[in-house]
Amino acid sequence: MNKSTTCATSKKILLFELNIVGHHAGYIRHLLNYWNRINIELVIIVSPDFLKVHKEIVALPTKGTVKWYPITTEDAQWYESSKYSILRHTWAEWKLFCRYASIIKPDHAIVMYLDRFQLPLALRLPAPCAISGIYFRPKFHYKTFTNHPPDKKAFIHALREKWFWRSALRHPKFSSLFCLDPYAIKTLQLLSQPNKVFHLADPVETYSKDVEKTTLLGHKLGLDPQRKVLLLFGMLDRRKGIYELLEALPLLSSSQQAQLTLLLAGPLAERDKTAIKTLIATLTKNLSVQICLDEQFIKEEHIQPYFDLADVVSVLYQRHVGMSAILVRAAAAKKPVLASNYGLVGELVQQHQLGAVIDSASPIAIKEGIVQFLEGNLRNTFSKELAKAFANKNTPKQFAETLVFNINKV
């Protein structure tokens, strides 16, 4: 299929994204880098804080077809205040979308996090323009995965989830659904139409390995070169399994502890900061494990050396639903993961031989996984060739092409 997107058109696309952390900014970056190839006006609705936090993205050169349109400070404060209730948050985001889309009058809107629009779309609330979007966290199909135990509540949730999407996908203004979970595509197509649902790559920008930069970073962090490095990267919070990982360390023998560096790279979640720092201080005092905390937001272009320093990467999410860019980054760096056996993450690790899966809620299981890693046994569950192939399916080019091509053909 020819995916050329060069065309002369007066079409106007609205991109709606109010999140400023995690992968959300990266997705906008990838689209902007691709947008110079096409001649379509793009208006990007963001929060005012996005312009402050991601100045380098806002400053990316474009052909003049891209306009930034932050919501007002008052709207941003109202939206933030709604986050304490899922239902209020949903209605607030939908209301803001409709208000700004009515002002801008686009031909089409791309909602970068469509999960929260499921209910308004299912209820057939009026929309000001055609809508497409990215669905991050389908869960209705988890019962088919290798490590998913029978769960009556999960069964009922899956039925409800499919019913809502069956209705949402039939909204008269709904156009295309893009989903990061490849295993959910077939069911979503059956709920709607095959030509409305597409698998979307989870884009990760990769850089050539720079030995000098990697060595300098290792020295700067004070990593012991005689130890093996277990990396936990990104927002350091309860969701990432940081408590269970730290609680596993005292279960290692003294000789095992002496072989290990735990590298924690990324900002600590505000609500967990005090507890995690206290726990790290206690463990550092009583154990021979080296724990290195690099507590900062690490920009895209500086990420690669952290993965090059690692010998194994932690993906020990706690009951995480959906995709993980950390999996792609580890695969691109040809590093095995120690991952949760739950959900999409667990299934992808096993299907693509990206490393070992364990019960991430159990410090004992994590300890056993670390021992496997220290003894070199993760080689049995890791294939560099399959990891490379997996990473090659999740590039920014594939992500942008899939979105733009399918929006542009409508």
Residues 300-348: pLDDT tens digits? 889 999 999 999 999 999 999 999 999 999 999 999 999 999 999 999 9
Query: Would you state the pLDDT for residue 373?
Result: 93
For residue 119 the two structure tokens come to: 């209910």
Q: Which percentage of the chain shows pLDDT scores above 90? A: 77
Say yes or no: 115 and 164 in one domain. yes
Question: Cβ(289)–Cβ(257) under 8 Å?
Answer: yes
Query: Would you state the pLDDT for residue 209?
Result: 85
Confidence bin at 223 (pLDDT 50/70/90): very high
Mean pLDDT to the nearest integer, 380-399 = 94
Say yes or no: 364 and 400 in one domain. no
Stretch among 204-208, 281-285, 340-344 having the lowest mean pLDDT: 204-208
Mean pLDDT to the nearest integer, 373-380 = 86
Across 200-298, the runs of DSSP E, i.e. the strands, are 228-233, 260-265, 290-294
| 28 in any annotated domain | yes
Give the three-state DSSP class for 52: helix
Mean pLDDT to the nearest integer, 292-304 = 91
Query: Would you state the pLDDT for residue 150?
Result: 64
Say yes or no: 184 and 235 in one domain. no
Query: Would you state the pLDDT for residue 65?
Result: 87
Strands 290-294 and 260-265: parallel
The yes-or-no verdict on residue 276 having pLDDT over 90 is yes
Across 169-248, the runs of DSSP E, i.e. the strands, are 174-179, 197-199, 228-233
Residue 191: phi and psi, rounded to 5, are -75, -20
How far is the C-alpha of 244 from the C-alpha of 296, rounded, in Å?
Answer: 22
Confidence bin at 409 (pLDDT 50/70/90): low
| 3 in any annotated domain | no
The yes-or-no verdict on residue 2 having pLDDT over 70 is no
Say yes or no: 25 and 174 in one domain. yes
| 1 in any annotated domain | no
| 2 in any annotated domain | no
The yes-or-no verdict on residue 41 having pLDDT over 70 is yes
Say yes or no: 302 and 386 in one domain. yes
Query: Would you state the pLDDT for residue 406?
Result: 78
| 164 in any annotated domain | yes
How far is the C-alpha of 10 from the C-alpha of 6, rounded, in Å?
Answer: 13
Which residue range is the domain that position 286 belongs to? Answer: 211-392
The tally of domains found in the chain comes to 2
Say yes or no: 263 and 404 in one domain. no
For residue 94 the two structure tokens come to: 């939908």
Say yes or no: 179 and 275 in one domain. no
The yes-or-no verdict on residue 142 having pLDDT over 70 is yes
Question: pLDDT averaged over the chain?
Answer: 91
Say yes or no: 22 and 41 in one domain. yes
CB atoms within 10 A of CB 253: 11
Residue 324 vs residue 148, higher pLDDT: 324
Say yes or no: 317 and 354 in one domain. yes
Say yes or no: 299 and 177 in one domain. no
Evaluated on CA atoms 104, 108, 114, 120, the torsion sign reads: positive
Q: What pLDDT digit, counting tens, does each position of 48-64 carry?
A: 999 998 999 999 888 77
Report CA 163 to chain centroid distance, whole Å.
25
Strands 337-340 and 174-179: unpaired
Which CATH number fits the domain that encloses residue 225? Answer: 3.40.50.2000
| 319 in any annotated domain | yes
Confidence bin at 90 (pLDDT 50/70/90): very high
Query: Would you state the pLDDT for residue 310?
Result: 97
DSSP 173: T
Indicate the helix (H) or strand (E) that contains 185. helix 185-191
Say yes or no: 352 and 269 in one domain. yes
Name 198's Cβ contacts closer than 8 Å, sequence gap at least 6.
Answer: 176, 177, 178, 179, 185, 402, 406
| 344 in any annotated domain | yes
Evaluated on CA atoms 389, 391, 203, 361, the torsion sign reads: positive
The yes-or-no verdict on residue 219 having pLDDT over 90 is yes
Say yes or no: 188 and 230 in one domain. no
Q: What pLDDT digit, counting tens, does each position of 96-139 carry?
A: 999 999 999 999 999 999 999 999 999 999 999 999 999 999 99
Q: Which percentage of the chain shows pLDDT scores above 70? A: 96
| 184 in any annotated domain | yes
